[in-house]
Chains A and B, each alone.
Chain A
Amino acid sequence: MAEIAVSAEMAASVWKIEASPGARVAAGDTLIILESMKMEIPVESPRDGTVAKVLVAEGDQVKEGQVVVLLEG
């Protein structure tokens, strides 16, 4: 099974985690909501799959390009 890394598009803090490991997700589903510069930025699933791992916690600071979720499928 292929593993897909989903990363943050910009430096941000993790505001809300919407996906939990094992959950089935469809392309376009919101996995995580980041907050940067007073804006909420959803991180969406690039394709259908299953959430293998959530690599961040709410309140964490992430860097641009940092992997936040691993998907399988």
Chain B
Amino acid sequence: MLGPVLIANRGEIACRIAASCRRLGLRSIAVFSDADATAMHVVAADAAERIGPPPPRESYLSIPAILDAARRSGARMVHPGYGFLSENAAFARACTEAGLAFIGPSAAAIEAMGGKAAAKAVARRAGVAAVPGYDGEDQSPERLAAEAAAIGYPVMIKAVAGGGGRGMRRAETAETFAAALAGAKREAAAFGDGRVLIEKLVASARHVEVQILADAHGTVLHLGERDCSLQRRNQKLVEESPAPGIDPALRAELGRRAVALARAVDYVGAGTVEFVADAGGPLSADRIWFIEMNTRLQVEHPVTEMVTGLDLVEWQLRIAAGERLPFAQADLAPRGHAVEARLCAEDPARNFLPSPGTIAALALPEPGDGLRIDAGVRSGDTLTPFYDSMIAKVIAHAPSRAEALERLAAALDRCAAEGIRINAAFLARALRSAEMQAGAVDTHLLERLRSREAAARSVA
């Protein structure tokens, strides 16, 4: 059933997928744009196919180019990795129609979970609480104000067609609601759709997500949670499992919700159910709400692999080949604590400005006991503006959270680069901060630490 695997991605995730393929005795085929002809992921696979010029639209996002590469190379399976075409239902369907096994859920499941409104409808059906809100057709200011009051202030007003932070206004009180609504409506009109939705604003929030694995025979299991609250520009930088402050009962409850959502869309494969948790007090089940499901492997999957001892890519491949999951939920309790940091070419001192360029020299620690390095670039490589800024994921595993945090910080201390700026030293300081040590995390913590450092610099 298993056949040669075309890896429709680049960078560290393509290298990591190729490594699992090799361990399983499966032939792997990389794809590359002209910017990546000598990239690490090309060397990591058994063969490689050129798919086009550097801009992603003409290469890694081109369905015809990737299907051509699959045909030329004799691939039987396609692993989309994360990003690029991984959550593109049309791509999943095109693979199936070309006789290739798409490693992921069905196109119908991707569509059912694609977009926040669609996912909310699934949650309603599955009986899982989503962030309280109103997304109805009655758009009169009176109705919207009444709904906002029912949800409870503060609320967020969002343009239905908005994105990227535009068409969004917060309203702190009933008195300021009308003005905020007018502002959001004005910006919404620019998207060609004046409708807005209203959501409860979780002022201090944590991002908690649950990993699931589902086979094609009806078994759906959860692999525990990850806390991914340490973010900048809405992008995760540090992730850990288990999440601080989650006990086995709460883990079981979030797992139950994630499994119910997966079942509601007949999900098959690896997936992640994302929740927002109120960080204003201790975590409690009634203050944790579903946001969306990612129908693919996540960047941060290694922390789950380290605490469960499972290779998620291996299980994606086995599930795609029709195998049954041989575990029971009780076999999957986490062992120890794992933390991951994303080493990126960026400058924390300049508001995390990206730092493309040629890496004259790159030093990463040796992987070893309780330390895993998933790298996608090496010394001499050029980081172009076309792709993301991640150089490597550094992941530490230890019996306790405190030991794992220090093991990761010490590993980051040993990371160095010449020719580009990296965020290693900033991340090490964040891991050693009093807030992180105490598990007092929220989605604004990294930004607060950065501001605090900037203030200290300007005083000094």
Chain A interface (Cβ < 8 Å from any Cβ of B): 9-13, 35-41, 61, 64
In B352-374, the 8 Å CB interface with A consists of: 353-357
Tally B residues with Cβ within 8 Å of A. Answer: 16
Whole-angstrom distance from the CB of A8 to the nearest CB of chain B? 10
19 contacts across the A-B interface (CB closer than 8 A) = A9-B353, A10-B353, A10-B354, A10-B355, A10-B356, A10-B385, A11-B384, A12-B356, A35-B385, A37-B345, A37-B356, A37-B385, A37-B387, A37-B388, A38-B387, A38-B388, A41-B353, A61-B385, A64-B357
Which chain A residue lies CB-closest to B352? A39
Chain A interface mostly? strand
Task: Identify the B interface with A (CB < 8 A).
Answer: 164, 233, 345-346, 353-357, 383-389
Residue of B nearest to A36 (CB): B385
List of A residues within 8 angstroms of B346 by Cβ? 37
Complex CA gap A38/B383 in Å reads: 12
| A36-B385, A37-B385 given; 14 more Cβ-contact pairs under 8 Å | A9-B353, A10-B354, A10-B356, A11-B356, A11-B357, A12-B356, A36-B356, A37-B346, A37-B389, A38-B389, A40-B164, A41-B353, A41-B354, A61-B385
**Complex alpha-carbon distance, A41 and B233, angstroms:** 11
Question: Inside 8 A of A10's CB, which chain B residues have their CB?
Answer: 353-356, 385
Q: Which residues of B contact A39 (CB under 8 A)?
A: 233, 354, 389
Provide the residues of chain B in CB contact with A9, threshold 8 Å.
Answer: 353
A21 to B357 alpha-carbon distance, docked (Å): 31
Contact between A13 and B385, CB atoms less than 8 A apart = yes
Complex CA–CA separation, A9 to B356 (angstroms): 11
A39 to B233, CA, bound (A): 9
Give A56 Cβ to nearest chain B Cβ, in Å.
14
A37 to chain B, nearest CB (A): 4
- Least CB distance, B61 to chain A, in whole angstroms: 12
Q: Name the residue in A13, A37, A61 with the highest tally of chain B Cβ atoms < 10 Å from its Cβ.
A: A37
**Complex: chain A residue closest to B384, CB-CB:** A11
